[in-house]
Amino acid sequence: MPTIAHLPAQVTAGVDTHKDTHTAAALDDAGRLLGTAQFPATPAGHRQLLTWLRQHGTVTLIGVEGTGAYGAGLTRYLHTEHVTVVEVDRPDRSTRRHHGKSDPIDAEAAARAAQSGRATGTPKQRDGRVEALRQLRIARTCAVRHRAEIQQRLQSLTTTAGDAVRSKLRDLTPTQLIRTCAALRPDPNHAAEPDTATKISLRSLARRHQQLTTDITELDKLINPLVQAINPALSAAHGVGPEVAGQLLVTAGDNPHRLRTEAAFAMLCGVAPLPASSGKTHRHRLNRGGDRQANCALYRIALTRLARDSRTRTYRDRRIQQGLSTTETMRCLKRYIAREIYTLLTA
């Protein structure tokens, strides 16, 4: 048997990630700094980083900043190498004021957060169908926002247009307005005239609106079946449509079991109650943290159930009679819905 002196060292590492480079720091099992080094943020650099760490001993744990951003590629590689990775938040401002700011310092701080147990979050896996869903939803969300902005610009241009143009467009519905503006045939040789310039702008915006609508429709044809295939039970839940289900799936990730309890999922969605008691006053307040898009998805489920489910309305009325405000009642309702959604996500 090897003697204690010849046992391989247990190494805990931290990585400060950036667009072009990653800086790693290694600690031994006693918390002593073994060294820091910088590597390119490329597949070859990822291999070099892990090789360098293994030169110091057996790598037991690596804390990585930005596992969903600049550290996504490194996290995927470490996962394939069966290395345990935890997600590390950047140091708070008070720590940086006392200890300074540099890539080696941040890497060492990440390693110490992982070694001490302060950082315990399991990163999302980004190699499955939920990651594909996330990518498609990014394109759809951008298209929806851009289309809404274009709709507002069309209404604004119509309101401020000259009488000749405004009189023809003011009473049209949004659908009719877009169709009419897209069919305009202004003469570009008279673009210096305000009415002609307005028509050119209206036509350009209307055609862009139509193109975005086509893009959204095509993305929906890909997203909706994918959401249904990933988790049919979630899609079948009352008040959960494709948009809401897609957001909740993306929030949980390809490995929803990384969320060990339904309370952890509620905290992730920003619906876990936070104590706000003082003296003889005992109450809880809204949680303004967490994933706000997931919070919005739970809010939509609550609104749908309040409109169509008698049990939900009965629960709301009972809590209001107990003295809770409407806002506090909605917070409680979202908390119960999060418990149900967690069960569906991890079943």
Asked if residue 213 lies in contact with residue 165, where contact means CB atoms within 8 angstroms, the answer is no
Which pLDDT does position 282 carry in this prediction? 73
Weakest mean pLDDT among 143-157, 203-217, 280-294? 280-294
Mean pLDDT of the chain, nearest integer: 91
Domain 4-116: CATH architecture, name and number where available: 2-Layer Sandwich (3.30)
Domain ranges of the chain: 4-116, 129-230, 234-346
Whether the per-residue pLDDT at 2 is higher than 50: the answer is: no
Which pLDDT does position 54 carry in this prediction? 94
Whether the per-residue pLDDT at 7 is higher than 60: the answer is: no
pLDDT, tens only, 245-286? 999 999 999 999 999 999 999 999 999 877 777 777 777 667
Rounded mean pLDDT, 147-175: 92
List CB contacts of 54: < 8 A, sequence separation 6 or more. 11
pLDDT, tens only, 77-87? 999 999 999 99
pLDDT-derived band at 9 (thresholds 50, 70, 90) equals confident
pLDDT-derived band at 92 (thresholds 50, 70, 90) equals low
Helix axes of 242-252 and 129-160: crossing angle, nearest 10 degrees: 130
12 exposure class (CB count in 10 Å sphere: 0-12, 13-18, 19+): buried
Cα–Cα distances in angstroms (integers) from residue 80 to residues 51, 95, 125, 170, in the given order: 14, 33, 11, 60
For residue 148 the two structure tokens come to 């809404």
Give the percent of the chain with pLDDT over 90: 76
Rounded mean pLDDT, 112-134: 90
pLDDT, tens only, 183-222? 999 999 999 999 999 999 999 999 999 999 999 999 999 9
Q: What is the dihedral sign for C-alpha 91, 250, 137, 312? A: negative
Q: How many CB atoms lie within 10 A of CB 27?
A: 23
